[in-house]
Amino acid sequence: PQPFMSTGELIEACDMVVEAAGAAVVPGLATATFDAGKDLMLISVGALIAHPEILDRSRETGCRLLMPSGAIVGLDGIKSATMGVVDHVTMTSRKGPAALDGAPHVVNNNLDLWAMTEETEIFSGSAREACVGFPANLNVSAAVSFAGIGPDRTTVKMVLVPELARNCHDIEVEGEFGLLRIHLENIPGENPKTGRLT
């Protein structure tokens, strides 16, 4: 078995720290990791929208900040599209109630997910707003926004689908290159908020 270590001991023992603990730990973990001269891979990419200073600190220290594609595919195509004019990037996610239960947007708007009996759009806004409202669900929107036209210009919709067994994402990018559509159905792992691909 691996030894249990404090965060400082763990950072010291590693060449690269991989975060999978949620957005709340990212600012402190990033500071400590970069101060130690180590590289950091973030699963909770959405934290970078609220804390862009982490990107600056990575550049200042020369430490690598890695953002894996996680639960989404096609980021290379989205990034390529931005070499020209992109008119819009829209991402629509569909998830069941267990995946969305407890999300800040759901709690703050008193949404009874279990009482909804048909497909219902429960959120529409920017990727920045999506990462605040669904920090455990929509890290994919942060990844899409960083690859594309940014967190304020990327439109995100969250649709509740009762009894849906998969986390589904549809991305549409349109610009001078043409039209790109991505459809992904991700089977949840032990945590219903994210999928096995992550």
Q: Which residues are catalytic?
A: 169
| 152/166 Cα distance (integer angstroms) | 27
CA pair distance 147, 82, nearest whole angstrom: 8
CA distance 171 to 72: 10
- C-beta atoms surrounding 4 within 10 Å: 7
